[in-house]
């Protein structure tokens, strides 16, 4: 009888452990520009307010793993280097590169000098769809 109770308690803990996982949104980005490319074509588009909400980018951390919440919860691997963190999709479908919050001012100043995207944007989200790609540039929220 005691073994049965211990066994049931163990089963409950195993099944309930995902319920106690700590979930935290670590990044939310709102895109301003969408660029679709397909080898012989390149289509830049400035996004409307409604599309910026539709195409927002969210990364969530659950325990020690990161997920591309707005892209079917694909697991991401974070790689930190210099002023950036790059989150790579484990299935090869793309990545999100963000400017580290503590480096935003430095990268903006550098972007102004070099006329680079860092002057205006905090992140880039790059998706691969077959041999085509879609890239979003935007600001963190």
Q: Tell me the C-alpha distance between 107 and 119, whole Å.
A: 7
CB 59 within 8 A of CB 68: yes
CB 42 within 8 A of CB 64: no
CB 66 within 8 A of CB 75: yes
Digit-coded pLDDT (tens) for 7-32:
555 565 565 555 567 899 999 999 99
Sequence spans of domains, the chain: 22-140
CB 15 within 8 A of CB 125: no
Location of structure tokens 């790689």: 79
Asked if pLDDT for residue 5 goes beyond 80, the answer is: no
Q: What is the pTM (predicted TM-score) of this model?
A: 0.81
Digit-coded pLDDT (tens) for 68-82:
999 999 999 999 999
Selection from 51, 47, 48, 67 nearest residue 59 by Cα: 67
């Amino acid at each position: 009888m005691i073994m049965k109770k211990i066994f049931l308690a163990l089963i409950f803990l195993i099944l309930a452990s995902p319920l106690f996982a700590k979930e935290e949104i670590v990044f939310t980005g709102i895109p301003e520009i969408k660029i679709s490319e397909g080898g012989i074509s390149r289509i830049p588009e400035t996004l409307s307010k409604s599309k910026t909400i539709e195409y927002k980018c969210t990364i969530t951390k659950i325990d020690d793993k990161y997920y591309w919440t707005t892209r079917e919860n694909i697991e991401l691997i974070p790689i930190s280097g210099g002023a950036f963190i790059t989150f790579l999709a484990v299935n090869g479908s793309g990545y999100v590169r963000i400017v580290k919050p503590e480096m935003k001012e430095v990268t903006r100043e550098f972007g102004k000098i070099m006329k680079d995207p860092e002057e205006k944007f905090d992140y880039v989200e790059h998706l691969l769809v077959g041999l085509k790609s879609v890239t979003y540039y935007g600001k963190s929220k």
